[in-house]
Structure 1
């Protein structure tokens, strides 16, 4: 794809819709061609739909575009992901109905721009209000049924029956609502149109989700965002680590923002908090900077609160406070550094690879259990490697493909002491 002008991308990142329109017009034909190539001849008629969704995703992620290259790379990846989704949808429909979808007309650039702006400005559906109205109708019908089956009860007994019925209905309704919400969220994450947002090794960045929440992702992190996010629910899945500045809901009765991390769910409203949940971690870590979050184990349904200033770790059904050095080890990246406290060298080097994007390895297995304690700023990989060689008494060499190779350095009189 051609690289756009830096000034236009800067305006887009600041939320300028005119810049969005300008970029869409400039890139439209190129995006169509890229989508057609990715979709293949059989599904090329869906290239307009793929292009529309990719550009909409770019608008939602605009805050992360620090330069034109980042914008172009995002669009290329969005085209690929949306094309994959379209192919899966087509295959699923073909299996169910034995035939493909009808062909779709490709919009002109003017029609495409108008459709994009229409979707951006479409009023959000008030699903919470509709659900509450439906519940009210159910309660009214239930009361009518109680009245019909009652056999001329005395007015006092009649009132008691009504009160008991209402309490039972409301309690049952709340239980069903909670269960229904979990089922709906589960279903949303199984959809073909889930959006995958990720950072690679050595990458960190901030993006804005569709509900206005800002997410700062740590290195090697993946977030999954359902298509229904910001409308019927506001739950995402996280593998890795990220800090969330939660946007207030436009509907006070609407869904709260939540993060699923493994078998746990962290729910918050108008708060700032960090979650860590890497695959190799033995616990889920949560730190709350502002407000309060609700921490739930979805296996046991146990719920606990975490307040501003607190950090906790949750493992094997037990929550414990995370303080001091242990807190730094898990969360220092939020302050642009990483910390190791008597960590074995064989675990330290993979962390350096993760946070600095290094091509590095420990080639001397005998040094793997050496304890390492140090704090490293995340602004220089060179300083990080120097600090490690000094802290663990290592020598550094270059292997194939310029790989950094760490091995035990010969002992000196100083190191023996």
Structure 2
């Protein structure tokens, strides 16, 4: 490691890239060894006395509430093992240096700007989150538990992105398609779901989000609790709607909100492995079945029944569902692999 960069580091003059490089070096075996040698060789370049070291340590501790705050705010902290110093003078300010390194790991760029006194303002902390993406194929559903204990059920042909570990100030996930959430309450960390142009904000509740596809409106519906729905490119106060239990909202392409009451079977039943139809046309039934079971349904030419259908099927096979529909629409069918052929 370049000694000049180390001098800049302890003066608080490093760039973010230099700070990152130094922290990686400190935590390497080579860095630990070289750091000890560097202090022994260049101790005259560091005019810190024991009193200054203690003052520095107390200042840093006060600024970040060292201890509980450090443990609460650091995501996957890097272990720092201080090198062994043979020089007595360097050892006298080791407490300040090691403490500074630990706090740097927690506060990032804060140390580079505040290490030697540039006001009491603490800048924004940048956390590097490790994101995970899960996609669900047709005919499948995915249930998962997030790091905070919140539970999510993701519908078929949908994708969810979420951090392996949430940031200390907020919890945020991204959904393409449809997903149902049961959020663990946490008054200190709001839960945000981004789905297309819509942002849904909650503290602890159960709700559904569905991003708009093929020109269809995006939807949000609440089973329990309350959520606030807004547009991604506006603030919450400018344009938003508050939803309570069994409330739903459709967000159209022109950014208009349409709030209404929702029925359980129409919105939430799919998460219980229930497929429900309410005055659905035959083409709507076919489309739902293709997505639900991951199949392609072939219909006779020029045959489109006009009768609407209402009904529900829970945890039933495709053959059982088709058999029930065949009595209503008077057809026969054949299932071969992932293709269904209907004969009239």
The one of 296, 309, 333 aligned to 1:396: 333
1:317 is aligned to 255
1:283 partnered with 2:217:
yes
1:243 is aligned to 180
Cα distance, 1:389 vs structure 2: 2.3
Q: SS where residue 375 of structure 1 aligns?
A: strand
**Separation of aligned partners in 2, 1:378 and 1:214:** 21
Q: Which has the larger radius of gyration?
A: 2
RMSD: 4.0
Structure with higher RCO (Cα < 8 A, 6+ apart): 2
User: Going by fraction, where is strand more abundant, 1 or 2?
Assistant: 2
User: Going by fraction, where is helix more abundant, 1 or 2?
Assistant: 1
Q: SS where residue 302 of structure 2 aligns?
A: helix
1:125 is aligned to 73
User: Alpha-carbon deviations, 1:234-270, whole Å to 9, x = none?
Assistant: 1111122222111233xx54x4111111100101001
**Separation of aligned partners in 2, 1:331 and 1:240:** 14
Matches within 5 A, 1:96-111: none
Contact 1:345 / 1:367 at 8 angstroms: preserved in 2? no
Give the TM-score of the pair, scaled to structure 1.
0.48
Cα distance, 1:230 vs structure 2: 4.0
Contact 1:336 / 1:378 at 8 angstroms: preserved in 2? yes
1:116 is aligned to none
Q: SS where residue 237 of structure 1 aligns?
A: strand
Matches within 5 A, 1:171-182: none
The one of 201, 212, 218 aligned to 1:267: 201
1:209–1:244: structure 2 CA closer, same or farther, 3 Å change rule? same
Any gaps of 5 or more consecutive residues in structure 2? 1-27, 29-69, 76-105
**Separation of aligned partners in 1, 2:215 and 2:279:** 16
1:347 is aligned to 284
Matches within 5 A, 1:17-416: 123-125=71-73, 194-226=131-163, 229-231=166-168, 233-249=170-186, 252-253=187-188, 255-277=189-211, 279-280=213-214, 282-301=216-235, 302-315=239-252, 316-323=254-261, 328-357=265-294, 359-368=295-304, 370-381=306-317, 382-398=319-335, 401=337, 403-407=339-343, 409=344
Contact 1:285 / 1:330 at 8 angstroms: preserved in 2? no
Q: SS where residue 177 of structure 2 aligns?
A: strand
Any gaps of 5 or more consecutive residues in structure 1? 1-103, 105-121, 145-176, 410-417
Q: SS where residue 278 of structure 2 aligns?
A: strand
**Separation of aligned partners in 2, 1:378 and 1:365:** 30
1:143–1:198: structure 2 CA closer, same or farther, 3 Å change rule? closer
Give the TM-score of the pair, scaled to structure 2.
0.56
Cα distance, 1:304 vs structure 2: 1.6
Cα distance, 1:212 vs structure 2: 1.7
**Separation of aligned partners in 2, 1:371 and 1:317:** 34
**Separation of aligned partners in 1, 2:262 and 2:171:** 33
Contact 2:221 / 2:267 at 8 angstroms: preserved in 1? no
Contact 2:185 / 2:203 at 8 angstroms: preserved in 1? yes
**Separation of aligned partners in 2, 1:126 and 1:213:** 21
User: Alpha-carbon deviations, 1:336-395, whole Å to 9, x = none?
Assistant: 4222334333332231122233x3313324234645312222311222112222333332
